[in-house]
């Protein structure tokens, strides 16, 4: 995605607006005055040390965690709180949630359903779309993530990478306006990470609007339109990937990147392997 395209779109209404979001667990401020805008076709990578609040931020966006204060808007509509300022009825919250896809760290597939049924369940039972249409679309999606041959398997019989690709197909089947990824490769064996990142890279290229919490620096550098760096519940840096990785503005980000540079996870060798043509 070109910077010019992103800049042109940023004048339009953001897909997601997070304003002054705060959340505490007990006396611990997990999120502290978070402000974030995500525009159409953008891929925002949320980076930061573990415990910095990245996953909590994702879970607050679709109200799996209830924020303590602040506002979240999806295409201009407030999530979680109705006009009168009261917490939304389940039905309204549900209809907002159906517009936001989510991919979980530990896959969170429904174990009693086959791969195909996992992908079809919410479109049929929640969105009430016609079964035949949903089935055709689900089969297309499974083909897209390379799992057509596994459609009748149960999740327990799949590898981690396959499970996560089902997780992505399941989220796409909702035709979401925004897709949230909560550390989608953290629970995978190293050799399975690539197949999941490939699918995500393709989604980013196809213009899906995504927020990705990840520790895969190579992916973030290559696929993100913007990096938001969290530390102790605050977004301390928000920058274009090249800028963030080459000239981080804050000491916290420098330390963080140094740690990853130390174990080589995003350095030249691996980066060119992920991207055979070399950095763009």
Partner 1 sequence: MRHDFLVVWGERGLLLSGLGNTVVLSLAATIAALGLGAALAPGLMAARGRYRLAFTGFVDGLRCIPFLLFAYIVYYGLPSLGLNLDNWTAGLAALTIYNTAYMAEILRGAWATQPRDPVDAGYAFGFTGVGHFRRIVLPPLLLSAAPVVGNQVIQIVKDSAFLTVIALPELTHAASSIQSRHYIPFAAFITAVLLYWMLCLAIEAGVACLGRVAEARR
The binding site for partner 1 (CB under 8 A) comprises: 62, 64, 90-91, 93-95, 97-98, 100, 102, 104, 106-112, 121-122, 125-127, 154-157, 170, 174
The minimum distance between CB 197 and partner 1, in angstroms, equals 21
The minimum distance between CB 66 and partner 1, in angstroms, equals 12
The minimum distance between CB 154 and partner 1, in angstroms, equals 5
| CA nearest neighbour of 176 among 133, 214, 220, 208 | 208
Q: Which residue, 47 or 100, is less far from partner 1 as judged by CB?
A: 100
Q: Which residue, 127 or 246, is less far from partner 1 as judged by CB?
A: 127
Q: Which residue, 176 or 248, is less far from partner 1 as judged by CB?
A: 176
3-state secondary structure of 102: strand
| CA nearest neighbour of 93 among 108, 105, 77 | 77
The minimum distance between CB 98 and partner 1, in angstroms, equals 4
Burial 226-252 (b: 16+ CB within 10 A, else e): bbbbbbbbbbbbbbebeebbeebeeeb
Q: Between the CA of residue 102 and those of 171, 192, 212, 269, what are the distances in Å?
A: 6, 20, 10, 31
- Backbone Cα Rg of the chain: 19
Q: How far is 151 from 145, CA to CA, in rounded Å?
A: 11
Q: Which residue, 9 or 108, is less far from partner 1 as judged by CB?
A: 108
Beta strands (DSSP E) in the chain are 16-25, 28-38, 43-47, 69-74, 77-78, 100-103, 178-182, 210-213, 226-231, 234-239
Instruction: Tell me the sheet residues that pair with 43.
Output: 210
Count of residues making up the chain: 280
Give the tokens for residue 178.
């925004």
Q: Which residue, 107 or 256, is less far from partner 1 as judged by CB?
A: 107
The minimum distance between CB 242 and partner 1, in angstroms, equals 33
Q: Which residue, 94 or 250, is less far from partner 1 as judged by CB?
A: 94
The minimum distance between CB 276 and partner 1, in angstroms, equals 35
Q: Which residue, 83 or 91, is less far from partner 1 as judged by CB?
A: 91
The minimum distance between CB 264 and partner 1, in angstroms, equals 31
């Amino acid at each position: 995605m070109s910077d010019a395209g992103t800049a042109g779109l940023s004048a339009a209404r953001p897909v997601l607006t997070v304003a002054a979001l705060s959340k505490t667990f007990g006396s611990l401020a997990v999120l502290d005055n978070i402000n974030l805008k995500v525009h159409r076709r953008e891929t925002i990578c949320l980076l930061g040390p573990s415990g910095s609040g990245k996953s909590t931020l994702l879970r607050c966006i679709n109200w799996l965690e209830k924020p303590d204060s602040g506002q979240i808007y999806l295409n201009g509509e407030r999530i979680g709180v109705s006009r009168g300022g009261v917490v939304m009825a389940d039905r309204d919250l549900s209809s907002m949630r159906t517009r936001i896809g989510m991919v979980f760290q530990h896959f969170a597939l429904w174990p009693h359903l086959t791969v195909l049924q996992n992908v079809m369940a919410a479109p049929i039972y929640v969105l009430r779309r016609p079964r035949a249409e949903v089935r055709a679309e689900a089969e297309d999606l499974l083909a897209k993530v390379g799992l057509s041959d596994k459609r009748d398997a149960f999740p327990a019989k799949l590898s981690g990478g396959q499970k996560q690709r089902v997780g992505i197909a399941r989220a796409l089947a909702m035709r979401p306006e925004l897709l949230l990824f909560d550390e989608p490769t953290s629970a995978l064996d190293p050799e399975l990470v690539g197949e999941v990142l490939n699918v995500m890279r393709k989604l980013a290229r196809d213009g899906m609007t995504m927020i990705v919490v990840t520790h895969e620096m190579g992916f973030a550098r290559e696929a993100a339109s913007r990096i938001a760096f969290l530390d102790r519940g605050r977004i301390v840096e928000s920058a274009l990937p090249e800028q963030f990785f080459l000239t981080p503005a804050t000491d916290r980000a420098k330390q963080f990147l140094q740690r990853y540079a130390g174990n080589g996870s995003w350095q030249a060798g691996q980066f060119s392997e992920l991207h055979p043509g070399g950095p763009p």
